[in-house]
Amino acid sequence: MTAVLGLLAWRLLPDPLPAEWTPAQRALIQSLSLSRLPATPVDPSNAVAESELAAQLGHRLYFDQRLSGNGEVACANCHQPQNYFTDDRTLAVGTQTGFRHTPSLVGLAYSPWYYWDGRKDSQWAQALAPIEAGHEHNLDRLQVVRLIAEDPHYKSQYEALFKPLPALPAAPRAASPTGDELLRRNWESLGTDLQLDINRVFANIGKTLAAYQRKIKPGRSRFDDYADSLTESSAVIPGTLLSKDELAGLALFIDEAQCISCHNGPLLTNFEFHNTGVLAIAGQLPPMGRYDGIRLARQDEFNCLGQYSDAEPGQCTELRFAKDDNELVGAHKTPTLRNITETAPYMHGGQITDLEAVMEHYNEAPTSMLSHNEAKPLALRSVQLKQLEAFVTTLTAPLQTEQKWLKPPDG
């Protein structure tokens, strides 16, 4: 009986908090504060990244369901502003159920890579792919260009930003080099010059969508106020900013649990790729992750080194010096932990339903189905897992983004 009670107490009773943070701990905590977030990185591949007019056009397109084959799917269907630009589904649903969980767009302008496997190297190149994916928007680039050309509002906004739209033939109506056989045959029939013109407009559409999405930024949370308060004192005192459990969770986060290894910096992510032994998505083979993603990024005609990019080759450092080895097998991108309490389920396939199960997953660090799990078992006690869960609740806050961007444009 005593042994059982002792075991229960060991699992469930919290350790006392330290009296104060060490200088190293304090530096780590402060490094996570939004106050340390630098200005949004420039995107040399997108000449209109900072243009307000481009953001307005991108904003309108983001909410426009005409940008889909069935007229029912807009970017905002899955990346919902009211849900921190994700949805509450396991797998995304466009014209059909997709293959991955919808990632949040909050703070993504800071990421050098897009998609869970990093198959795109810019926010604008990313924005193009779902439009043509059969299970997402299921449209094609020629029809996208037609939409811009045939809507007077879009046409005038577009031509205020870029060169005049190309003249389009009456037929074919639809064409793409990536679609089904008919779309590809139509694409071939257009000829090289028109193909280049259409690709350029399509790329520019992506650039306006990126200009809009760059505005989606996280807001200051209770944690940020706490981290900033440490400039005055290193004492670990539960108070109005963080409770005892939240402080204990923070101590674990930066130390014993090693969450900070990947969830670091003010966005709580290193935007890198890691294999953490998450189970394969039901009904799918374990994905190769970044191992395939970097190959796709290099082949992408819309990448930083491609002819539709506005960057000089020397500016494409991430793509030019990207790693390519077996460590990337099964690796997926670290997501931000900002607002994580509001963005369940979790992981690239939404495989883990709640934060309690996430903590258990990392505590166990199961063997990966493909390659190896980078994480090591933590052997944390139940009470410590609860404390970690308590800590991440302090990272939720309303977005910093102006309200007008969080709803469809007027008119």
Partner 1 sequence: MTPPTLSNFLLIGLFLWLPATHGWSQSATFSLTTNQGSTLEIFSQLDPLAINSIHSWELVLYTADGAPLHGAQMSVVGGMPDHDHGLPTSPVVTGEIAPGRYLLEGVRFHMPGRWLLTFDITIAQGRESATLELQL
294, containing H or E segment: helix 290-299
CB 48 within 8 A of CB 211: yes
Specify the residue, 56 or 111, whose C-beta has the smaller distance to partner 1.
111
Nearest distance in Å: CB 392, partner 1 = 19
Nearest distance in Å: CB 292, partner 1 = 17
Specify the residue, 137 or 333, whose C-beta has the smaller distance to partner 1.
333
Nearest distance in Å: CB 281, partner 1 = 24
Specify the residue, 343 or 371, whose C-beta has the smaller distance to partner 1.
371
Q: Is residue 348 classed as helix, strand or coil in its secondary structure?
A: coil
Burial (CB count <10 Å: 0-12, 13-18, 19+), residue 3? exposed
Burial (CB count <10 Å: 0-12, 13-18, 19+), residue 83? middle
Nearest distance in Å: CB 344, partner 1 = 26
Where along the sequence are the contacts to partner 1 (CB under 8 A)? Answer: 24, 27-28, 30-31, 112, 260-262, 264-265, 270-273, 317-318, 320-325, 327, 374
Q: How far apart are CA 261 and CA 273, in angstroms?
A: 12
CB 45 within 8 A of CB 219: no
Specify the residue, 37 or 61, whose C-beta has the smaller distance to partner 1.
37
Q: How many CB atoms lie within 10 A of CB 191?
A: 11
Specify the residue, 11 or 323, whose C-beta has the smaller distance to partner 1.
323
Nearest distance in Å: CB 264, partner 1 = 6
Specify the residue, 272 or 310, whose C-beta has the smaller distance to partner 1.
272
Q: How far apart are CA 167 and CA 155, in angstroms?
A: 12
Nearest distance in Å: CB 336, partner 1 = 12
Largest Cα separation within the chain, whole Å, is 85
